[in-house]
Chains A and B, each alone.
Chain A
């Protein structure tokens, strides 16, 4: 499971900004929302006749596989980097 998301923004003016976002504390804070989202997903799965457990497992697989993703965009003196660790 991803642990930290790093966001770095370099702008032509001003200092570069680098933010480390720890995902576990955020997930804990958002736990009520996540539970609600899981319930909505389970209802949607039932409506579309999809196995809710399989859908949940697959969704978790997608989240887990995000680790190692890195998106780096530069244009002139502006740059944005998003990395999932």
Chain B
């Protein structure tokens, strides 16, 4: 409940104002406030189109900046392309990943899982803050 509306109802309960006055005050309050649907919080979010990667760092005393914008459509196309990779190639890649200390089985990764991952990417924001570097990954 809105704070001002609550105050009016409390005044009515305490007998400071009549029911008619309370009704008039609430009506005036509603006229002075914009409809709730037009606020930024309730407005439907537009679908993200790009994946952004921003890196700010200082190397050898000089500031550096990397700003990458990748269309999410490109990631979707990449997933479709990855689905065409022959299973034997994925098996070999998995073996190499394991050798490098990355225990990840690429053969278990299904295209529909990647699709779902990309679909929900727009809700993801990754921020890494360090004294000499700052990384932000988000969708817009």
Contacts and interface: CB of A to CB of B under 8 A. Distances in A.
Interface of A: 48-50, 54-55, 58-59, 61-62, 64-76
A49 B63 CA distance: 49
A34 B65 CA distance: 35
Contacts of A64: 77
Which 3 residue pairs of A and B lie closest in terms of their CB atoms, listed nearest first?
A76-B62, A65-B74, A72-B67
29 contacts: A50-B86, A54-B84, A55-B84, A58-B84, A61-B81, A62-B74, A62-B78, A65-B73, A65-B74, A67-B71, A68-B49, A68-B50, A68-B69, A68-B73, A69-B69, A69-B70, A69-B71, A69-B74, A70-B67, A70-B69, A71-B68, A73-B65, A73-B66, A74-B63, A74-B64, A75-B63, A75-B65, A76-B62, A76-B63
Contacts of A70: 67-69
Interface of B: 49-50, 59, 62-71, 73-74, 76-78, 80-81, 83-84, 86
Contacts of A59: 81
Contacts of A55: 84
A65 B81 CA distance: 12
A58 B77 CA distance: 7
Contacts of B64: 73-76
Give the dominant DSSP class at A's interface: mixed
A61 B83 CA distance: 13
Contacts, number: 64
A37 B49 CA distance: 31
Given A55-B84, A71-B68, A75-B59, A62 B49 contact: no
Contacts of B76: 65
A82 to B, nearest CB: 10
Nearest to B59: A75
Given A65-B74, A67-B71, A71-B68, 5 more contacts: A62-B74, A73-B67, A74-B64, A75-B62, A75-B63
